[in-house]
Structure 1
């Protein structure tokens, strides 16, 4: 009697252990499954967030949401806007020393030392001094920005005109320049993620100088 009781008791203990082992295995597998699912959702969410980039458009006046798979399509437009933004910062100038310094500081974020070198060259020639003394306003009118995006660094050619507005006359100048662009990290100061390299002006000759009264008298 005691032998049968002990045998049944041992069988019950063994069955209980087996049940506990099964429960433990089920719980462990369940935890692994839940952890795997959470890890997958986290990876998916992180990947989707990385696939969305914010692009400053129209000189930083508006923001559009673009998908990463469309980045190659948007990249040429971003590159052109990067160059146009630089041209406006560098060549649109008021007869205000602080405004000139602020523009040049911001323009320097968009390119390499060739930009700073061109600025220093103009300053050494007294261009900005004449701008301040003559109370002259300078404006750039961009005609075209052409890019070759087939090979990095991307070659860029610029055709534009510069208008110098003085108290008595207006001078129009030709601006032909070229440079190279390389991809860079997007920052607050460089939202398009490009850096201008080897910027050079190849033609900045005068087109014409006209009397301001004559010019304004023929404005529509």
Structure 2
């Protein structure tokens, strides 16, 4: 009888120990899972410091900013390509920067302008060309854009105002120092380039 009671007490103690160990394992496993989930969630958040005060900034997905980046890329390309002072080295530098942002269609247009004496005319007449973006229509699904701008050509004798409309497509490429948006203009062509008046 004493042996039976001792065996029951031993079994009861063993079950108690196993239940306690099992409970500890479950609690530790749940705690570990929650900690990993919280750390992963925290890594998705970015904090910006303003002095000593942290502000939570939301991380945006790449596609959420695609339209905005495409518009900025198109506008920057046109500024590099059409904002030209009467300085040959500066013209080469800005047009060279524009060539990193577009495919061979931009190079063909640059060569045609060079053959027609456009750049040498700017230098010889001390003209200053600037372009003002009026609007950019961008179709996100087809990735096609139409750029509407006004080009001003200021010479010593008179100023000329021109309407400029171009179109093309946008493709993703790796980001580089010369192409910070990671986009490439393809199939670029000038639809309209007409004088509006002096």
TM-score where L is the length of structure 1: 0.64
For residue 73 of structure 2, give the secondary structure of its aligned residue in structure 1.
helix
Quote the residue 1:126 is aligned against.
117
Equivalents in 1 of 2:156, 2:148: separation in Å? Answer: 27
Quote the residue 1:77 is aligned against.
68
CA RMSD of aligned residues (A): 2.5
Q: 1:136 deviation in Å?
A: 0.2
2:175 equivalent to 1:175: no
Q: How does 1:55-66 map to 2 (within 5 A)?
A: none
For residue 67 of structure 1, give the secondary structure of its aligned residue in structure 2.
coil
Quote the residue 2:187 is aligned against.
198
C-alpha spacing 1:189/1:131, structure 2 compared with 1 (3 Å): same
TM-score where L is the length of structure 2: 0.71
2:59 equivalent to 1:67: yes
2:78 equivalent to 1:87: yes
4+ aligned runs moved over 4 Å, structure 1:
none
Q: Any gaps of 5 or more consecutive residues in structure 2? A: 1-32, 47-56
2:106 equivalent to 1:107: no
1:150 to 100, 122, 141: 141
Equivalents in 2 of 1:110, 1:163: separation in Å? Answer: 23
Q: Any gaps of 5 or more consecutive residues in structure 1? A: 1-36, 53-64, 210-220
2:173 equivalent to 1:207: no
Q: 1:66 deviation in Å?
A: 7.1
C-alpha spacing 1:190/1:204, structure 2 compared with 1 (3 Å): same
Q: 1:75 deviation in Å?
A: 1.0
2:176 to 172, 187, 190: 187
2:151 to 153, 162, 165: 162
For residue 188 of structure 1, give the secondary structure of its aligned residue in structure 2.
coil
